[in-house]
Amino acid sequence: MMQLHQGYNKFLEKDTKIVAIGPENAKKFKDYWEENNFKFYGVPDEKQSVLKLYGQKINLFKLGRMPAQMLVDKEGVLRYIHYGHSMKDIPENSEIFELIDKL
């Protein structure tokens, strides 16, 4: 999430909202959000309903939810999805910016 935080202004320039969905309960999620001073939206998904809706994977050997990045256009259509195999498998902001430009 720090990568998204660092690119926040560029996402704003591209008229793009960031919504991060995390596995924690609401209290832990809020504390984490405030501790890191994130400017974008964050939604706790303690019951894993969003995770299940979009097919995001959980790997208990890697301590939980695998990363997933999605782009949804202004009409609500899912236009891109990347399921990571580890926390190192996350597209760079520059890759996401290129995809946004193509939309």
Report domain extents, the chain. 2-102
CATH class of 2-102: alpha beta
Q: Which two tokens stand for residue 50?
A: 């969003």
Please report the pLDDT score of residue 96 as a whole number.
94
Nearest CA among 74, 21, 73 for reference residue 52: 21
If pLDDT is split at 50, 70 and 90, which confidence band does 9 have? very high
Where do we find the tokens 């793009």?
A: 16
pTM, entire model: 0.78
Q: What are 58-67's pLDDT values in tens digits?
A: 665 655 667 7
Give yes or no for a contact between 29 and 50, defined as CB atoms under 8 angstroms apart.
Answer: no
Q: What are 21-52's pLDDT values in tens digits?
A: 887 789 988 999 999 999 999 888 888 888 77
If pLDDT is split at 50, 70 and 90, which confidence band does 89 have? confident
Please report the pLDDT score of residue 34 as a whole number.
92
